[in-house]
Structure 1
Amino acid sequence: MTAVQPGPTTSAPIDAAHWQRRLFALAARHRVPGASLGILRLGAGGRPDELAEAAYGVLNRATGVAATTDSVFQIGSITKVWTATVALQLADEGLLDLDAPLARLLPGLRLAGDAAEQVTMRHLLTHTSGIDGDVFTDTGRGDDCLEKYAALLTEVAQVHPIGATWSYCNSGFALAGYVIERLTGGTWDAALRQRLFAPLGLTRTGTLPEEALLHRAGVGHVTGPDGEPSRAPVWGLPRSMGPAGLINATAADVLAFARLHLTGGLAADGTRLLAADSAAAMADRQADLPDEHTLGDSWGLGWIRFGWDGARLIGHDGNTLGQSAFLRLLPAQGLAVVLLTNGGNTRQCQASRAILV
C-alpha cells in the first residue's frame, strides 16, 4: 500500500475573487445565512501551497454578526475522519490492532448478543459493526461522558450481523472515541488537541462550546414554513457525540487537516503525524455501500469515497443542528475544498457540486 501523492499541476492560480463572487451568488440563491469557503492546492515544483478563502452573510440572523474567513462553524460528521486519523495514529504506534476484538481493550464492554467479542475498530471506522447508529443519549458534560455512553450500548440492538453490510453508525464512532480515551489515558477531546490540533497549528479548532465562544462562532438555522431560516433552538449536540460530530473549526483549519491526508501524513512543517501506509489505507476501499449513488460509491477508514468525472475523490459531509459542512479532496491534483454553512438549502450550495461547477 502506498501513500496518496498529488500529481503535477500546471493550472492557473486560484482566483479568490471569482470564488468570493461564486459563493455570494449561490448562498444568496439558496437562502444560506452564512458560509465560509476554502480551497487548497498543494504547491508543486517547490512552489508554496495556494489557499483561497471566502465568506458570506451572517453567523446569526438574530444578531447580524458578519461571517468572516476566521469564523468557526460546526463541521459535524467530518469529525469522524479526525477520530479515524487518531485511531490510525495509535495503530502506527502499536497500541491498537484494527482487527482485534474490542473486548480485549474494553473487557467490560457489553453489546447485543456476543457482538462485543467480535466487533473491531475496523468495523467501527467503516460503519460495518451493525450497532444501531442513531443513539444520541446525553450522558452529561463530564469527562466520563464517553465511558457512560459505552456502558449504555448494552441496551442497543444490532441492526444487522457484524460485517454483513454497511449502515451509518454515529454510535460506533462514539465507541471508537472511548477506545481512544482508554489507550491515551485522557479524554477524546485532549487526544484531538494533542495529536492533531496542536501539531497542525490549528488555533481556531475545538470540540467544546466554550472553545467556540473564544472566536466568531456560527449559529445553526432551521428553515421555517415560509422558507426563511431562523436561529436553531439548540446550539450543539451532547458531548457524548463528540467523536462522531462535535469539532468546530474555520475553513482554513479544516484544509490544514485535509493537507495532512493529501501529503500522505505530513504536517506543513514536514513532521510525520501519520504513517504513509495508514493515510493510504484510510483512502482505500474498505467497505461497499448498499446504495452507491447516495453518499458515495464506497467507504474507507473514516473517508467516504466518490467517483467524479473519472477521478477519485475522498471526503465527508457533516450535519448538526442547523449547520452543514462539506469536504472534498482530489488527491491526484493535490486539491481540497471545504464549505461550511449555518443553514439554508445547503445541498444545493455544496463544494462538490454547485460550488465547483
Structure 2
Amino acid sequence: SVSLLFGAIELAGVLKFKYLTTPLLAPDLEYFVNSGTLEVFSHYPLLLAVGLATLVLVPLLLVITFRCERAALLPARPRAVRALVRVAGAALAAWGLTLMLSADGPFAGVFNKPMWITVNDKSFITDFLTSFNDTVINEPVIPPDVDRSMSWKLDRPLQAPAQAPDVVLVLEESTFDPRILKLCTIAQCRLPMFDADKQTRAHGLLTVHTFGGGTWTSEFSALTGLAHTLFGNAGLYAPYNLAPRVSYTLPKAFQHAGYRAIALYPMSGDFLNARNAYDYYGFDAFYDGTEYGLGWDSHDADLFKVFERVYGDEKRAHPDTPLFVFMLTLHQHGPHMKPLAELPAPFDQPLFPGRFKPRALDDWLNLNLGNYLQRLEESNAMLDQLQKLL
C-alpha cells in the first residue's frame, strides 16, 4: 500500500512536471482539485488517460493487496501481542514521519527552498512531502530602519485632462516577445504589439514576478504592486490566500479617482478562485467569460467581441463614469501542438527547417513555436482592433 501511494505521488509529479513544468505540491490538493483542473486534463489526452488509469488501477491494486494479505503475519504470537506490536510500530512510524516532515527537524535543509528552485526540482516525492510546509503564509515585516525620507512629489505636477480617460489593461497570458530568441529573425517574429508607435507615451517591460505556468502571480503583481514571493512559498497560490489579505490595489486606486473598475475573465469565475479574488482586489463588476461563450478554445478575437459588447453596455449604463477595465487572454496557454497543416499560411509549414542553419529546429520545436507565432499574430490583430475602438 505504501509503495502504491509513493508510486502515485511520483507518477503525478512526473506528469505535472512534464506538462506544467512544476512538480506536484501539497497545496495543489487544496486549491487545484476541482472541475477546472479536470477541464485542463481534458485538453491533454495522455495526461487524461494516465489520470483515469491511476484512479482505477491504484484502488484496484490496493483491494487486491488487502485481500491477498495473509490473515496472520505473526502466527506464533498471541493476538494481544500482535496488536501491541502493530500499535507500537505504527506509533514509531508516525513519530519518525513527523520528525522527517518537521521544517525544524533533522532534514531542515530540504525545506523552505526558494519556489523557483522547487518548481525546477525533480525530487518529486521529497518536494511533495516538504511542500506541506508551504501552505503557511509568512506576512512580510517592514524593517524598522527603512528609509522613509524619499519625496514622491513631482517637480512639475502632472496636468489632469479635462475628462478622465477610460483605461484598459490587457494581460496577454503566456506571451513574450519572440525576438528574445536569437533564431527568431524572420518576419513572423516582428509584431507591432511589442513596439512603440506614435500614440505611445511610455514603453518598456512591466515589472511583475512571473515564471512559466503561473500567470495568476503576474496578475497579482500587476493588480497589487506586490510580488507573491514576499509571502513565502505559499504566495504561489495568490488568488486563494493572498487576495483576501490585500487592502490597497490598482482597481481601488482607480475607484478613489472616480472610476468604475470592471474585470473580464476568459474562463469560468470558479477557475482558480477568480471571482472571489477579483472581488477582494476591489473590482465593481466581474464578467464571467463562460456566460458570454468564452472558454478554453476561445481566440483573442472572441475575447475582443465580448469586450466590445461589455464595454458598450457599461458606457450606456454609466455614461458619466470613466472605466478601468482589466481583461485576461487565454489562447496562448498550451498545448501548442495543433498540426502545422491545419494552421493558416505561412504557419502551415516549419518556419525554422533544418536547411536554414543555424536557425534550425527539430520537428517538435517547429510545431510548438509555429503554433505560438500563429497565435501571437492573432493577439496582435486583436490589440490593433482594441486600440482603434478605444
* TM-score in terms of structure 1 length: 0.22
* TM-score in terms of structure 2 length: 0.20
Higher RCO by CA contacts (8 Å cutoff, separation 6 or greater): 1
Q: Which has the higher strand share?
A: 1
Q: Which has the higher helix share?
A: 2
Larger Rg: 2
